Amino acid sequence: MFLGLFGLFLVLWLFGFFTQHIFGGLIHLLLIVAVISLFAHLFTARANT
């Protein structure tokens, strides 16, 4: 689930990054959320093993 969120937020971030920075700070917020979701996925995967 978290890996899917990471992919989604990363794609949204890349889309926003290349569309002339219309949203400004929101784009960087999406990147931060994507990285947090990746770390959450990695830590929960380790906890389950």
The CB-side HSE value for 20 (13 A sphere, CA atoms) comes to 1
Which pLDDT value is given to residue 6?
84
pTM: 0.54
Confidence of residue 44 (pLDDT cuts 50, 70, 90): confident
41, two tokens: 């996925």
Burial group, residue 15, by CB count within 10 angstroms (0-12, 13-18, 19+): exposed
pLDDT in tens, 4-28: 888 888 888 787 767 766 666 777 7
Structure tokens at 32: 């931060």
